[in-house]
Amino acid sequence: MGNTTEDFDRMMAVNLRAVFVATQAAVKHMKTGGRIITIGSCNADRMPFVGGSVYAMGKAALVGLVKGLARDLGERGITINNVQPGPTDTDLNPATGEFADMLRKLMAVPRYGSVDEIAAFVAYLAGPEAGFVTGASLTIDGGFTA
């Protein structure tokens, strides 16, 4: 993670512009009761290492975008929420190695999350029980930001 102008442009394109463009395209086809769920990062709330400022800023900007879109879409009965995972065991972010060891030391629950745990959280937001949840950024991070 760097902090160059190129890094900034790439992060904003991927983490913010892409969500905005995809949401615009999706809502054209959505009916009342539709759900939009973005995937952010707990780094919107906590960036504990050097070199992550641009990444953290993009994820924090996503929080603001989701809040604004909740207002824009609420009258249509469409909800939008942001899931903010913490360290999650994936191919790109394995739960082993020096970086993972460092992150686990920062967590209340000293383990990486699983993709199934994140998916279950997303499934709740997509379901009928979450019809009154909108504009929220919900963190699932094992206490990384606690």
Classify the phi-psi angles of 31: left when phi > 0, otherwise alpha if psi is within -120 to 50, otherwise beta. Answer: beta
For residue 55, indicate whether it is catalytic: yes
Nearest to 85 by CA among 51, 53, 62, 54: 62
Burial 33-52 (b: 16+ CB within 10 A, else e): ebbbbbebbbbbbbbeeeeb
- The CA–CA distances, whole Å, from 14 to 39, 40, 120 equal 12, 11, 24
The catalytically annotated residue of 43, 55, 70, 79 is 55
**DSSP letter for each residue of 130-143:** GTT--S-EEEESTT
Active site residues: 55
